[in-house]
Amino acid sequence: EDAQVAAPSHAADAAPADAFFRNVAALCGRAYEGHVAVDSPTQQGMSPFNDRRLVMHVRDCNADTLRIPFVVGDDLSRTWVLTRTPSGLRLKHDHRHEDGSEDALTMYGGDSLDTGSATRQEFPADDESKALFEREDRAVSITNVWAMEIEPGDRFLYELSRPGRLFRVEFDLTRPVRPPPAPWGWRD
């Protein structure tokens, strides 16, 4: 896909979000290995991230949407979907089963509430996600705030925070790796 992503025609107040989007879009087609930088409190024995290879792949890019599979070991179920909105950005988490069908807990996330910066954007859980968490007995996640950071040419960070919980995965942008297979539900 083409890494050249045009600037949108919406309000100038979204300029930091647009710059962030362009910074991530510049990675289109490339994959990077990461590691868990913070897991507090540590989810020992419960975390699917323990002792598994973590890879993000900026796989599908157009002027308004970036799809970024997040591969955990052999698990190809997760894709971050970053979309431009009139006032900023939206982050959703697309979760699939191996047969490609949607997981019951999918397409949760939120919109950036302020302009953020060209290097960091935060996404508090939106009302749709809160209702999903309630329905799926995950009320603890209602206060989730996800964030993404990018230091072009250096690192990319994905973060989940809520009261009493902080989880961060950091990816090394200095060393691209071989892209993983297509996520579950996708076609090459």
CB 125 within 8 A of CB 26: no
Q: Is the bond preceding 181 in cis, omega lying within 30 degrees of 0?
A: no
Look at residue 46 in the predicted model and tell me its pLDDT. 65
DSSP output for 41-87: S--TTT-TTTT--EEEE--EE-SSEEEEEEEETTEEEEEEEEEEETT
In three-state secondary structure terms, 94 is: strand
Look at residue 64 in the predicted model and tell me its pLDDT. 96
Cβ neighbours for 166, distance < 8 A, ≥ 6 positions apart: 38, 39, 40, 159, 160
Look at residue 82 in the predicted model and tell me its pLDDT. 98
Question: Which residues, given as ranges, of the chain have pLDDT below 50?
Answer: 1-12
The tens digit of pLDDT for each residue in 49-59 reads: 778 999 999 99
Look at residue 41 in the predicted model and tell me its pLDDT. 85
SS (H, E, C) 109-157: EEECCCCCCCCEEEEECCHHHHHHHHHCCCHHHHHCEEEEEEECCCEEE
Q: Which residue has the tokens 């989007």?
A: 21
The tens digit of pLDDT for each residue in 75-115 reads: 999 999 999 999 999 999 999 999 999 999 999 999 998 88
